[in-house]
Every structure is written in structure tokens, then in C-alpha cells.
Amino acid sequence: MLDASRFYFPLPMTEHDIYRPVYHFTPPANFINDPNGLVFYRGEYHLFYQHNPFGDTWGHMSWGHAVSRDLVRWDHLPVALAEEDDVMIFSGSAAVDWRNTSGFGRGAEPPLVAAYTGHSQAEQTQCLAYSLDAGRTWTKYAGNPVIAIGSREFRDPKIFWHAATGRWIMATVLADLHRVRFYGSADLRRWELLSEFGPAGAQEGVWECPELFPLAVEGTAGESRWVLKVDIGCHPQRGGCYGQYFVGDFDGVRFVADQPADLVLHMDAGADFYAAQAWNDLPPLDDRRLWLAWMSNWRYANQTPTAPWRGAMTLPRSLALRRFDEGIRLIQRPVAELRSLRGAHFGRAGLKTEAANRQLQAAGLQGDALEIIADFRLPAATAEVGLRVRVGRDEATVIGYDSAKQQMFVDRTRSGRCDFAPGFGERHVVALPAPNGRVRLHVYVDRCSVEVFGGGGRSVITDLIFPHPDSTGLEIYSAGDEALVERLDVWRLEAR
Ligand code: FRU
């Protein structure tokens, strides 16, 4: 069992721990995958996560635990739900049972209730646990499982309170059948099957980690739609795992997608954004919908060259919908709380790329933990513009925009260590229009990752990279005719 002592990160960097992020969440030690049980309660954002407390590869799955008051600095807590009697604690969610519908509460303290998948050799079932002390200790419900259908591919319950119908909803997957199953309950203990969604969209791998929530459509007078997110596991012929989402309507019983059944929408075109989950019970005055994801990929999750930990979370992102010519699409923006990390700053406006780069070099603002916002104005002729980050020792990660193809990309082919898994050194691209010849790249660089938000969060790429710790260079470039850098801001990010 993990040492129960609490400590704050960043943890000291040892020679074996050169990739420990400055400001992304990592466990103190050992393996993690999906975020679980994201819930806000009494000033704290809870982050549980799939965790092997005993080793640095997948196994003995339990729920690790951390809390934060600002979504940026995390306080590590002991394992919350541990594997027991050969039943592993697979992914799931948590909610505050404000009305004590479950009866788990005592006195005035509402219970926090977690719904997770109990995984055994024989079966996957949906189970409950509850906490009466703000998530510090958890009791597995004596009546577990609450849903058992005799399936080995039935998992990842996401629960939330559906105010319009006054009951709890649970979304789960029949993973190998590519179906999301919705259940309803008055008390979290007895569940009734409501409906199924799927197959639809991408189906090469198993469906995992469903997520469902309403979101306002920005720029409209109160229009809102529901988003159903489902992840797709690895398929041997296809390479890695990734996520997809559907936009539609959920009436408390059934989800109906607006889009044709064969359209696949991705929320992130990088390799390292999987199993995203949104927080339940954000404070009433905070009307944001926030999520984060596991920043790795099953293709190489057990081999990434980090120690003593393996696996990290992406930055928390705020979500919105916006209508484009092609339909309503998801927008992701890094949460505003991240601004508290900003340290030394470089800012310039109205320079050509070469001049901007010269001034950037002269200012010496570089590093392994940076935030960069670059507004480019593209020349009339086709061009490529962008940034090279973590530059040094014959390596660089290229983050760019190709105006001919109207694509944003991250190229990690020469980003540093790529040898630990075949095919890691690759390039990821995503469509991004440049209205009026303008494009904005908003980039977060950390010790082993880049997260790139293009066009105000319409196109996103999240990629792990493993550069040498000395590779801290930052360059701005253009190929073809020079582009204008309308505005460039760079901050060094520091966890304080
Ligand atoms: C997704 C997943 C889930 C499962 C968990 C097990 O990454 O495969 O479907 O609950 O990981 O660790």
C-alpha cells in the first residue's frame, strides 16, 4: 500500500526522474491510467485515478487519490479504494448525494458516492462505495454489485444527477458491442435499464469510459446540446487508442445524436488524451464544465521511460460548444487557474517571424515548462509557420501550421527518446481553418508533454515527448514566405 504521508508536488527531481512534469499531475510513484471519481466537494476538486500501488506497469487496479483547491496544485492522499479478494477497482465516477437518496449519509453530512466497476476474472459489475468524511476514507457498499449482467465487458459507470427527471443516471459501456447503456435510479442502489446508444462512429476497438453532459452553444440565445463522449481502445491493426464524441439530445432516458452514425468527431488529435472525465458537482456559481484526461496511450503506456512514476494527467480544460458551417463542435480551453503558474514573461507585437525569433533568442526566454500564445498572420503564398520547443542536442518538437493544407500539427519524430515503443516518433495533424489568414497557437510545454490549442480550442493536440532535460530551446519559424507575428507571448511556468 502506498505510504499514507502527504506531500506536495513538484517532488524533487532526481537523476532518474528527469521527466517529472512541473505542473501536470503525476502520482508520487507507480502506474496510473484513467482519471476517476472527479467530484467537487467543500472547496476541493477530487481526482481519483486508476492506479497500481505496487508497480510501474498496469495491475492491481485501485483508485489513487489527490485533491486540489485550484486545479493546479495537488495534494496526494492515500489509496482510496483498493483491490480486494481478486476484485480490481476499475474506472468509475463519484457524486455528492446531496439529498441522501442512497441513505448512506449520517446526520447533516451528505455522502460522497463512488460508482466503479468491480473487475474479476469471471465478470465486470457495477459497484458502489461511499465516504462520510469528504472523501478521506471509503466504505464499499455491502450490497455490491448493484448491477450485474453476466458480462466480462461491462464497465466504467459515469453517474450524475439528472435534475429534469429528478433521478440518477448512469452511463456504462458494453465494451465489445460498442454500446453505451443508460440506467436510471432513485437511490443509487437499484438501477433500471433505460436505453442503449450505438454502435455508431468509430468502432475499431472496444468502447470505454462514457461521459455525458449538457453544454451551452456559445453565441446562441440559450441553446444547449448534450455531449456523449466514448473512448475507443487499441486495435492491433490501427495502433493507439483515442476518444470520440457525439453531439445530440438526452431526455433523461435516451441519447439521440444529431450527427450521421458514421461521422467520427475527435476532441483531441494527439496520441495522449484518453478516458477524459468531467467533474461532478462544481460549485453552483461556477457554470463551467471541466474535464481532464489520462495523458498516455495504451499503445505504449507500460513502456514510457519515466520513473518512479508512470502516467500523467492532461491539463484541466473548460468545455463549450460552438456552431460552425459543418455543425456544432466541442471547444476546449485550458482553465484560467493555470495563469497562476505564469512567471517570467516575453511579449512582442507586429514582428516578422525572423525578427521575432531574434528577439526571443536575445531575451533568452526558454525552458522546459512554458506557455506560449502566438498569433500569426499568414502570407498570401502558402507557408508553414510555427514553433520549435524543447530544442537542443539535435532534437526538437515542432508545433506548426501548414497554410496549404489548413492543418495544425505536432511533429515528435525528433522530439527526444522515441526508442521505447515502435512508432512513437510520429506526426499528428488536425484540420484548422485560418479565417482572414490568421491563426493562433496556444501551447503548453512541460518536461514530457506538449498540449496545443488551435483556433481558440477548436483543434487540440496533446502529445507526450521525452527530450533531454537540457533541451530547453524555443524558436519561432516560418518556411516559405515570412509570416507576421501579430502577437507573441511566452511565460515560464513555475509551480509555486
Ligand atoms: C480505459 C480502461 C477502462 C477500465 C480501466 C482499467 O483505459 O481500460 O475501460 O475500467 O482502463 O484500468
Per-residue pLDDT tens over the stretch 290-331? 999 999 999 999 999 999 999 999 999 999 999 999 999 999
* Length, in residues, of the chain: 496
Q: What is the pLDDT of residue 13?
A: 58
From the CB of 61, is ligand 1 less than 6 Å away? yes
DSSP structure string for 18-38: TT--SSS---SSEEEEEEEEE
Give percent of the chain above pLDDT 70.
Answer: 97
Phi first, then psi, for residue 176 (nearest 5°) are -80, -15
More confident residue, 1 or 380: 380
Residue nearest atom 9 in ligand 1 by C-alpha distance: 208
Q: What is the pTM of this model?
A: 0.96
Domain boundaries, the chain: 26-334, 342-493
Q: Give the position, in ligand 1's atom list, of the atom nearest the Cα of 91.
A: 10
Q: Is the model's pLDDT at 214 over the cut of 90?
A: yes
- The DSSP 8-state label assigned to residue 176 in this structure reads G
From the CB of 117, is ligand 1 less than 6 Å away? yes
Nearest to 407 by CA among 353, 461, 330, 329: 461
Task: Give Cβ neighbours of residue 183 (< 8 Å, ≥ 6 apart).
Answer: 147, 169, 170, 172, 191, 192, 193, 194
Q: What is the pLDDT of residue 1?
A: 37
- Reported as a pLDDT band with limits 50, 70 and 90, residue 235 is confident
Q: Is the model's pLDDT at 188 over the cut of 80?
A: yes
Task: Give Cβ neighbours of residue 111 (< 8 Å, ≥ 6 apart).
Answer: 96, 97, 100, 102, 104, 105, 130, 131, 132
Amino acid at 95: A
Q: In a 10 Å sphere around its CB, with 0-12 CB exposed, 13-18 middle and 19+ buried, how is residue 267 labelled? A: buried
Q: What is the pLDDT of residue 260?
A: 94
Section 462-479 average pLDDT: 97
Q: Give the position, in ligand 1's atom list, of the atom nearest the Cα of 155.
A: 10
Question: Of the residues 32, 34, 49, which should be mutated to test ligand 1's pocket, given the most ligand atoms within 8 Å of the CB?
Answer: 34
Q: What is the pLDDT of residue 239?
A: 74
- Residue of 34, 56, 97, 272 with catalytic role: 34
Q: Give the position, in ligand 1's atom list, of the atom nearest the Cα of 241.
A: 7
Q: What is the pLDDT of residue 172?
A: 98
From the CB of 275, is ligand 1 less than 6 Å away? yes
Q: Is the model's pLDDT at 381 over the cut of 90?
A: no
Q: What is the CATH number assigned to the segment(s) 342-493?
A: 2.60.120.560
DSSP structure string for 451-468: EEEETTTTEEEEEE----
Phi first, then psi, for residue 98 (nearest 5°) are -55, -35
Task: Give Cβ neighbours of residue 101 (< 8 Å, ≥ 6 apart).
Answer: 168, 186, 187, 188
What cell was used for 361? 533568442
Please name the residue that has the C-alpha cell 444547449.
224
Averaged confidence pLDDT in the chain: 95
More confident residue, 5 or 243: 243
Q: What is the pLDDT of residue 133?
A: 97
Q: What is the pLDDT of residue 8?
A: 39
Distance of CA 456 to the CA centre of its chain: 17
- Relative to beta strand 317-324, strand 207-218 is parallel
Q: Give the position, in ligand 1's atom list, of the atom nearest the Cα of 156.
A: 10
Section 159-163 average pLDDT: 98
Write the pLDDT tens digit of every residue in 86-136. Answer: 999 999 999 999 999 999 999 889 999 999 999 999 999 999 999 999 999
Q: What is the pLDDT of residue 12?
A: 53
Q: What is the pLDDT of residue 365?
A: 96
Q: Which CATH number applies to 26-334: 3.90.1150.10, 2.115.10.20, 3.40.50.10860, 3.40.50.460?
A: 2.115.10.20
Cα–Cα distance for residue pair 420/201, rounded to 1 Å: 31
Section 432-436 average pLDDT: 93
The reply to whether 3 belongs to the active site is no
Cα–Cα distance for residue pair 115/53, rounded to 1 Å: 20
Nearest to 445 by CA among 463, 431, 429, 459: 463
How many CB atoms lie under 10 A from the CB of residue 54? 14
From the CB of 411, is ligand 1 less than 6 Å away? no
Write the pLDDT tens digit of every residue in 1-50. Answer: 344 334 334 455 566 899 999 999 999 999 999 999 999 999 999 999 99
Write the pLDDT tens digit of every residue in 253-295. Answer: 999 999 999 999 999 999 999 999 999 999 988 889 999 999 9
Ordered alpha helix ranges (H), 261-368 = 353-363
Name the E strands within 43-175. 44-52, 62-68, 75-81, 88-96, 112-119, 124-131, 139-140, 154-162, 167-174
Q: What is the pLDDT of residue 286?
A: 85
Please indicate whether the domains covering 26-334 and 342-493 agree at the CATH topology level: no
Question: Of the residues 31, 36, 81, 91, which should be mutated to test ligand 1's pocket, given the most ligand atoms within 8 Å of the CB?
Answer: 91
Q: What is the pLDDT of residue 9?
A: 44
- HSE value, Cβ hemisphere, 13 Å, CA-based, for 465: 37
- Report CA(92)–ligand 1 centroid distance (Å): 9
